[in-house]
Every structure is written in C-alpha cells, then in structure tokens.
C-alpha cells in the first residue's frame, strides 16, 4: 500500500494499479494505491469453483428486481415518505423469503410469500409505521381502517391516508398494482374513509396481494394546505397480506 502525495488525487483502477481512499496512520481520507487484486469477472462467470457464487448472484438479482418493481409501482405512497434504506431493507427481506423456497434449486428460487408472511406484514418503508393490521376484502378491493393507526404529527392540522394493492403473478413473474385509494385531506382526530372500488387484475387463485398504506400530513393556513416535510412522522407500511380468493 502506497500513499498518493503529489499531483491530482484519483480513485479507480488504471492498468495494474487501483487508486482508492482509505485510512492510514492518523489520516482518515488518505488517497492510497495498491496493485489490482481480486478475481476477474470472467472467472466468476465461468469457473466451476464459483458455481455457488453464481447461484447467489442469480437469487439476489431476482430479489433486487422484484423489490425495484414493487417500490416503483408504489411511488404514489412512497414518494417523499420512504427512508433512504428502504430499498436495501426490502430487498433483503425478499431475499430472506427466497431462502424459504423448498421447491426450486439454488439460483432459481422464488419468493415464498406464505411461510414467512409474518415478516412481510408490518414491514415499514419509512421510520414510522402503522400499528394495526387493516382489514382487506380481496373480492371488492375494499379497505376498512379502524383505530389509531399512526402518530399524528405535531403542528399539523390534517392528514391524508393512501392505500395501494400489489399483486404478484407468481407463475409469470408479473407485478400488478392498483391505483392509489385516498382519503382526501382529513382533519386530525377524524375518522378515515377510503374509497372502495373494484380492482381489475390478471392474478390467479392464491397469488399474494400486499396491502400497503401510507400517511402524509398537512398544515392548513387560510384554506391552503401545506405539506409537512418532516419524514419522522410519515408512515408507509405493509398492513396486510392476502391471497386471491378461490
């Protein structure tokens, strides 16, 4: 390991040398240089010794792709609400559910939504979360919200609750998502009512449906609603996991 002292400091690999930042002696952000090391990409992809690595890479890619698709489709709820670590945490959870797959071989495993359903329900994309499981009618796509499900943000006057349904076609790896059902801006302390509607989808019997809910807060001043940007009190959670009825 050598320290870059003169000229333009750089990070990256050039020929056989890797330039990087690290800690040396009492300097935390020193620019260092070392010989390029590690295993080549070609060897990882072809060498039989890395078969297990390739299988893990495939499973992780499956979890990452599904996590990305679900969170992208939930953007009406998650925008401005989810924490910076939400993608990584949700991907890690899906990867854990894949380990419960008792049918497929490594590298071809799928998410087992049934065995560890208790790990899905209650997952929070934000720092806050809903505290209760919300009733869900899978036939009419109706959501019944009861009780105190979240902590009201101090200094706000109104809140808005949203719900979306995410269905996973497990046979074809297709994700379906409903529109966002909204309560409208409701005065804090008032009852919550979400519009009930029929959700048309291409799911099959037994396919999992996640019910995701979020809440955002507003302050009313002279008839104008100003969004409260403090994420500490915004909640976005998976509140139920159901299956398409028989």
DSSP string, 226-238: EE---GGG-EEEE
Q: 130 with 237: CB under 8 angstroms?
A: yes
Alpha-carbon separation of residue 68 from 7, 63, 65, 80, 153 (angstroms): 41, 9, 5, 16, 29
| pLDDT-derived band at 170, boundaries 50, 70, 90 | confident
Phi and psi (nearest 5°) for 91? -60, -45
Q: Tell me the CB-side half-sphere exposure of residue 15, using CA atoms within 13 A.
A: 1
d(CA 75, CA 94) in angstroms, rounded, equals: 19
Alpha-carbon separation of residue 26 from 16, 23, 36, 117 (angstroms): 27, 8, 25, 48
pLDDT over 90 (residue 217): no
| pLDDT-derived band at 90, boundaries 50, 70, 90 | very high
Give alpha helix (H) positions in the chain: 41-46, 51-73, 75-78, 86-99, 117-120
Give per-residue pLDDT as tens, 112-158.
888 888 888 888 888 765 554 455 554 554 555 544 456 667 778 88
**pLDDT (average), residues 25-48:** 74
Query: Which tops the pLDDT comparison, 22 or 79?
Result: 79
Beta-ladder partners of 175? 168
Alpha-carbon separation of residue 201 from 25, 101, 178 (angstroms): 60, 25, 8
pLDDT of residue 218: 87
| Cβ contacts of 61 within 8 Å, gap of 6 or more | none
pLDDT of residue 246: 40
Phi and psi (nearest 5°) for 126? -115, -175
């Amino acid at each position: 390991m050598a320290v870059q002292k003169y000229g333009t400091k750089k990070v990256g690999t050039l020929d056989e040398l890797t330039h990087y930042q690290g800690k040396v002696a009492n300097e935390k952000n020193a620019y260092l240089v070392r010989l390029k090391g590690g295993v080549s990409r070609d060897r990882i992809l072809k060498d039989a010794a890395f078969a297990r690595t390739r299988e893990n890479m495939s499973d992780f890619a499956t979890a990452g792709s599904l996590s990305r698709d679900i969170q992208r489709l939930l953007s009406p709820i998650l925008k401005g609400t989810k924490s910076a670590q939400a993608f990584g945490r949700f991907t890690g959870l899906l990867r854990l559910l894949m380990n419960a797959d008792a049918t497929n071989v490594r590298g071809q495993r799928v998410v087992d939504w049934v065995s560890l359903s208790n790990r899905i329900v209650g997952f929070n994309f934000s720092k806050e979360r809903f505290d209760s499981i919300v009733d869900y009618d899978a036939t009419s796509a109706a959501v019944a919200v009861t009780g105190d499900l979240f902590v009201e943000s101090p200094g706000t006057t109104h809140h808005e609750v949203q719900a979306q349904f995410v269905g996973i076609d497990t046979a074809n790896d297709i994700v379906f998502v409903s529109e966002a059902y909204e309560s409208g801006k409701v005065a804090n302390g008032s009852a919550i009512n979400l519009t009930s509607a029929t959700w048309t989808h291409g799911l099959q019997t037994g396919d999992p449906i996640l019910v995701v809910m979020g809440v955002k807060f507003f302050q009313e001043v002279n008839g104008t609603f100003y969004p409260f940007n403090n994420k500490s009190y915004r909640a976005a959670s998976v509140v139920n996991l159901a299956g398409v009825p028989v």
